[in-house]
A and B are shown apart, each in its own frame.
Chain A
Amino acid sequence: QVQLVQSGPEVKKPGASVKVSCKASGYTFTSHGISWVRQAPGQGLEWMGWISGNNGDTDYAQRVQDRMTLSTDTSTGTAFMELRSLRSDDAAVYYCARGGSGSSYYFDYWGQGTLVTVSS
């Protein structure tokens, strides 16, 4: 069965960086892209970025495109999200979600979420 398993919660200071992993299993990693979606406490869902599982193409939301880097390790079927220069409003649960081969796709499987806390 398809599973996306994310790394554990993180506590970071403002200005620091965080890197979250998302290990995929149960499907051919290179046939699907991975998107990252975040949810601030008590708020809705916000799409942050997408990476192709095949060729590493990426697309980022405008508000984080200068601070976020998405990457993959196809040998292990793992996607990574790095966010730099953390601010208090980056505090959220970050989800990875499986999409299609292109960036325009719905999300049929989701990771369990990784809570990122930003606090001095």
Chain B
Amino acid sequence: ENVLTQSPGTLSLSPGERATLSCRASQSVNANYLAWYQQKPGQTPRLLIYGASSRATGIPDRFSGSGSGTDFTLTISRLEPEDSAVYYCHQYGSSRGTFGQGTKVEIK
């Protein structure tokens, strides 16, 4: 099983600041099949990024993904209040996908 470890656990930033979220895999992610999801309290997860760096339909360009192999990053360039959520990475390079434990982003 490819274990994903996200850091930090919680990120507390002000509106307009840049958020950098990390996702590290225990094994190389095949074909960089790495996605990011946003989940707000009481809501369903929403796809943000797939293929490590491709934005999903309707996702603002302040969200960007990068990385390859075992190290991946989600960057939110200019935080807005509605970005307060938990963010999960997900590797789907193996048939049995795995999720990271999540990073909570708090807006001050």
The judgment on whether A and B are partners is: yes
CB within 8 Å of B: which residues of A?
35, 37, 44-47, 50, 59, 61-62, 95, 97, 99, 102-108, 110-113
Q: Is the CB of B99 within 8 A of A44?
A: yes
Q: Which residue of A lies closest to B102 (CB)?
A: A44
Q: Give every chain A residue within 8 A of B93 (Cβ-Cβ).
A: 104
Q: Give every chain A residue within 8 A of B51 (Cβ-Cβ).
A: 106
Q: Which residue of A lies closest to B93 (CB)?
A: A104
Q: Is the CB of B88 within 8 A of A45?
A: yes
Q: Is the CB of A103 within 8 A of B44?
A: no
Q: Which 3 A-B pairs have the closest CB atoms?
A: A106-B35, A106-B50, A103-B95
Q: Which residue of A lies closest to B90 (CB)?
A: A106
Residue count of chain B within 8 Å CB distance of chain A: 28
Q: Give every chain A residue within 8 A of B45 (Cβ-Cβ).
A: 37, 45, 95, 97, 107, 110
Tell me the bound Cα distance from A62 to B56 in angstroms: 30
Interface residues of chain B: helix, strand, loop or mixed (majority): loop
CB within 8 Å of A: which residues of B?
1, 30, 33, 35, 37, 39, 44-47, 50-51, 56-57, 86, 88, 90, 92-102
Q: Give every chain A residue within 8 A of B57 (Cβ-Cβ).
A: 108
Q: Is the CB of A44 within 8 A of B88?
A: yes
Q: Which residue of B lies closest to A95 (CB)?
A: B44
Q: Which residue of A lies closest to B39 (CB)?
A: A45
Q: Is the CB of B96 within 8 A of A46?
A: no
Q: Is the CB of A106 within 8 A of B99?
A: no
Q: Is the CB of A104 within 8 A of B44?
A: no
Tell me the bound Cα distance from A87 to B95 in angstroms: 26
Q: Is the CB of B99 within 8 A of A47?
A: yes
A114 CB to nearest chain B CB (Å): 12
Q: Is the CB of A59 within 8 A of B44?
A: no
